[in-house]
Structure 1
């Protein structure tokens, strides 16, 4: 049998993933000639290669915007993957589906995932990053550091990154093997029998590592200095505290903090604890109390400026010299510069209906003013910022997603990929309603560099509101956190009704997370950690069929789009069979 050690990355070159900013450091030496002595050079007091080594660990952080499925076995007819296979993670939630009929994602939606065909398989990626961090932590003292601050900062960056990659693992799989500081060799027999630690042990380890690192990192940078800081985006105390809040919120959530004992738990938490909600709320509040982040008044600033008040933790992508994302997502009837737009993502009617009216009332409230014959009028401004819908203005003309319209012509020669739901995803596009061409975004040094925001301040506010509400019911601080986001969104009035119960506030917070953080890879994980995915995703998802009348008005009729396959097993992802076949001590998740 062929042995797979990929998940612990035995090759040095396996953990060197070149970033655009790191190429010059290595391009004069073939990768296969790298050695520990070269990376941790005892004659280089600057530690230049070690600096790039840590930089390359950042490159392992998963990016968003578009996701590649985790297993090549999903490819149709064994054909190579194409760009149309790339869709955001929300396409595997109740928020959206892929627009293309032939997109690989439909196999996941209709058939789920298994150890043979895993989905979003991050096991090998995370453990190779953890191993790279361990190599650094085992060797950095060989360097005669001239700058003691750099030595301290890099060491704690590696520690914080290692903790973050364990978080990437536990939110997918539950408890996983903790390898400590050990760097395994390929012939180590322990590799064949590594057992999973409990979820609780993993959380405690991650939190302890983050606590060790938080006060020994580069100082946080005020907003005025972020645009000129060459190391902006590397680990700082605020980032570490934000990650800690994420970890503790996950640990407090129903999936891992159940109020009743599940049939086959692999959580490591035997019973419910309200204290976990308090610890999560305190962790989010610690970020708020730093006083260095705030909401950007204009949400488009998050698209147009990399360094802003709101971004806390993000992954920098490689430089680009085009505005490709707008082409990927815009409706297919738009062809600026004679290049076809692709409209890859179709938001669901359930997602569109989650946006309230501008007066803050839900569309089901009889007093909200919602008109089903004119369903997009008077809505929360975030709807227009997030979804391409019929009649909205884009590139100087109204969007036409009615049957036979420019953006749903029902003619494959005009638009081979068309909306499944009557909508296209707009999030992360610039405000180009009046422009002739798509704008570039996240401009830095004249290039197109879109960072993937992992945690921003709006998320912290909603994390605090959720955890505080679950622990002690809605108080003034919960109201303030939620209303701050609603105010920025442009709701009038933005205030919530007084006297909401814990259950009512829970619904408010969950819906705010859905619409405020849309397409930021929150909904996929949220409906799983809340353990509601079977109810909201494992059911029929809808769209709308729009017909245009002779007088220019429209009829809107609901339509069934798909019923995703979802079982209790799928709240956790399966460990790929290549891992469990080699490591006999590695217990598979329940029901797989």
Structure 2
């Protein structure tokens, strides 16, 4: 497991990237705890490094969107294709095991920093403010550790689990802990730390004293409530709840309701859908927690349409995803104009033939066969579409006019997700889309309709009296649409355990005349085996540890 020697070879990662409000990362070359924990700055750097393991899946050549049916990777050499072409194995494991480095660092901090009072610094001007911040670190670190365990249990099921700093020998003899116990730990840690963390950092005395831009990107009370609710939803889902234990669904519904109530109490509300990406997306009205990734143009280089200078195409939305976008009038799409009248989120998320995208593209997109952005150009979209969501259309990546990178942030938790999570859990617990009870006063249907009614979307709500089958199918479509390219679809299909990604649909567009096109659906098979509900444990870890048993089928 490579738990060996905790100490502090910490990589410097610039994750939060404004000026006075950034979270700074530090690199330590002195490995002694007395060095690290004798100074507020070095201690803060150690804690900030633990944040560096937080996940983010901004569109790239390894994005999980192209490991499911949201997108198809146009770049033929990308390793993300291994998930669906049969090359995934314990020797090519797509390992999530690096999260144990974050867990190891968290365990080390919680052990070695306990009871520190920085007595030698007691006469410094900001001593009390610094101590207030330090005393909060233990709760931040516990929450981060719980987050990393959630990511591991989501991927592997039963996982090695410890809250201690292990020797190398101990680490390489540890066995796997049942997923149920790990979920219980995650949820209990969220409960324990939530009300020790602030709702916001901007009004804290120690931050306000530093100026008008306090450090951002730290976990909050809302982060703890949100992690608890997401973990409870996964715990209740079929992958981890084969017996269909209704109590787990009730707990998941109540946890999501708690997040919704928290948002209502603290002015967190649904806003414009397009506010969820762009330079200031971390300020969007519905954001609960966002990871500040920094100034970059990598997502744009990796996903802008082929045919543009320096663009590499990348994650191309599938027709499978397009099909999930309902018509605004409830009807069926036109054969000759298949994109007219769709859910407005379609054009916000996906660039299709004839769109002016991005801003620096002088001409409308030509994704048809023979077009400037279509086949047979190498790495042209194989699906007929390009990606918009999470890309900054104002960035120019051409050599002569490059605008350089702009700020990107990955939204880890937002209100829209928890309205949908609540809908799913309430539906499963009460057995009806319209069901309510004393503790769950909003029906599953009403929760979904809140998402569909957000400004700028304004899709017709789900009607009363839907059959359970109709609600479930439409709920899954709604979730695929609302949360597209936000890192959920890959995991949702696994936790539902309703069958994996066996294929995707592409759209082949041919130009008939200047303003007429034909649209032909084409199917592409993907490799799926039910062992893929869980990741394989890396073969190297199995070889090091005789007590570490491989997941079935791998």
Structure 1 and Structure 2 fold alike (TM over 0.5): yes
SS at the partner of 2:391?
A: coil
Aligned match of 1:190: 170
Which residue of 2 is the match for residue 294 of structure 1? 269
Report the alpha carbon displacement of residue 501 of structure 1 after superposing the two structures with TM: 2.6
The size of the alignment, in residue pairs, is: 515
Alignment of 1:83-232 (within 5 A): 86-119=61-94, 121-123=95-97, 125-141=98-114, 143-145=116-118, 146-147=127-128, 148-180=131-163, 182-186=164-168, 189-220=169-200, 229-232=213-216
Q: 2:544 aligns with which of 582, 586, 589?
A: 582
CA distance 1:491–1:469, change in 2 (3 Å): same
TM-superposed deviation, 1:388: 1.4
Partner in structure 2 of residue 469 of structure 1: 427
Distance 1:436 1:18, change over 3 A: closer
Q: Which residue of 2 aligns with 1:261?
A: none
- C-alpha contact (below 8 Å) 2:71/2:317 kept by paired residues: yes
Determine if contact 1:544/1:556 at 8 Å carries over to the other structure: yes
Shift of 1:16: 4.4
C-alpha deviation, 1:245, in angstroms: 0.5
The match for 1:33 is 30
| 1:358 aligned partner | 328
Report the alpha carbon displacement of residue 447 of structure 1 after superposing the two structures with TM.
Answer: 7.2
Q: Find the counterpart in structure 2 of residue 60 from structure 1.
A: 53
SS for the counterpart of 1:455 is strand
Q: 1:558 offset after TM fit, Å? A: 1.4
CA contact under 8 A between 2:59 and 2:315: conserved in structure 1? no
- Greater shift, 476-485 or 344-353, is seen at 476-485
Q: SS of 1:129's equivalent? A: helix
Once structures 1 and 2 are overlaid, which stretch shifts more, 231-240 or 469-478?
469-478
Unaligned runs of 5+ in 1: 68-85, 259-270, 362-367
Q: Deviations over 1:455-481 (max 9, x none)?
A: 111111111111111111223532222
What is the CA deviation profile of residues 143-199 of structure 1, one whole-angstrom value per residue up to 9, with x for unaligned ones?
32543432331110011111111001000000212212x11123xx43332111111
Matched, 1:386 2:362: no
Mapping of 1:338-377 within 5 angstroms? Answer: 339-359=309-329, 361=330, 368-377=331-340
TM-score where L is the length of structure 1: 0.81
8 A contact 2:277–2:391 mirrored in 1 = no
For residue 283 of structure 1, report the CA deviation from its aligned partner.
Answer: 0.5
Instruction: Give, in angstroms, the shift of residue 551 of structure 1.
Output: 4.8
**Residue number in structure 1 paired with 2:530:** 568
Counterpart CA distance in 2 for 1:300 and 1:327 is: 21
Q: How does 1:252-401 map to 2 (within 5 A)?
A: 252-258=236-242, 271-290=243-262, 291=264, 292=266, 293-300=268-275, 302-305=277-280, 306-320=282-296, 323-334=297-308, 339-359=309-329, 361=330, 368-394=331-357, 395=359, 397-401=363-367
Match of 2:235 in 1: 251
* In 1: Cα distance, 2:356 partner to 2:5 partner: 53
* TM-score, reference length from structure 2: 0.87
CA distance in 2 between counterparts of 1:436 and 1:210 reads 42
Does structure 1 residue 240 correspond to structure 2 residue 235? no
Q: Could you tell me how far 1:369 is from its partner in structure 2?
A: 4.8
Would the aligned equivalents of 1:9 and 1:131 in 2 still touch at CA under 8 Å?
no
Superposed displacement of residue 96, structure 1: 1.3
Contact 1:543/1:558, CA 8 A, preserved across alignment = yes
1:509 maps to what in 2?
475
SS of corresponding position for 2:528 = coil
Contact 1:152 1:217 in 2 (8 A): no
Whether contact under 8 Å (1:50, 1:136) holds in the other structure is no
Q: What is the rounded CA distance, in whole Å, between the counterparts of 2:327 and 2:381 in structure 1?
A: 24
Tell me the secondary structure at the aligned position of residue 376 of structure 2: coil
Aligned CA distance change for structure 1 residues 351 and 24 (closer, same or farther; 3 Å): closer
The alpha carbon displacement at 1:221 in A equals 5.6
Cα deviation, 1:179-234, whole Å, max 9, x if unaligned, reads 12x11123xx43332111111111111111111111111333689x9996533321
CA offset at residue 250 of structure 1?
0.3
Distance in 2 between residues matched to 1:530 and 1:9, nearest whole Å: 36
Is the partner of 1:243 in helix, strand or coil? helix
Distance (whole Å) between structure 1 residues aligned to residue 419 and residue 286 of structure 2: 11
Contact map agreement 1:380 1:489 (CA 8 A) in 2: no
Q: Secondary structure at the match of 2:274?
A: coil
Distance (whole Å) between structure 1 residues aligned to residue 212 and residue 444 of structure 2: 35
Kept after mapping to 2: 8 A contact 1:314/1:454: yes
Distance 1:453 1:23 in 2: 16
CA distance in structure 1 between the aligned counterparts of 2:333 and 2:531, rounded to whole angstroms: 39
* 1:10-64 alpha-carbon deviations (Å, 9 max, x no partner): 242345454366997746xxx43231111111xx4xx221111111111111221
CA contact (8 A) 1:382 1:489 kept: no
Q: Distance in 1 between matches of 2:219 and 2:33?
A: 24
Whole-Å separation in 1 of the counterparts to 2:448 and 2:201: 26
Report how far residue 352 of structure 1 moved. Answer: 0.8
Task: Measure, in 1, the Cα distance between the counterparts of 2:55 and 2:384.
Answer: 30
Partner of 1:460: 418
In 2, the alpha carbon distance for the partners of 1:9 and 1:489 equals 51
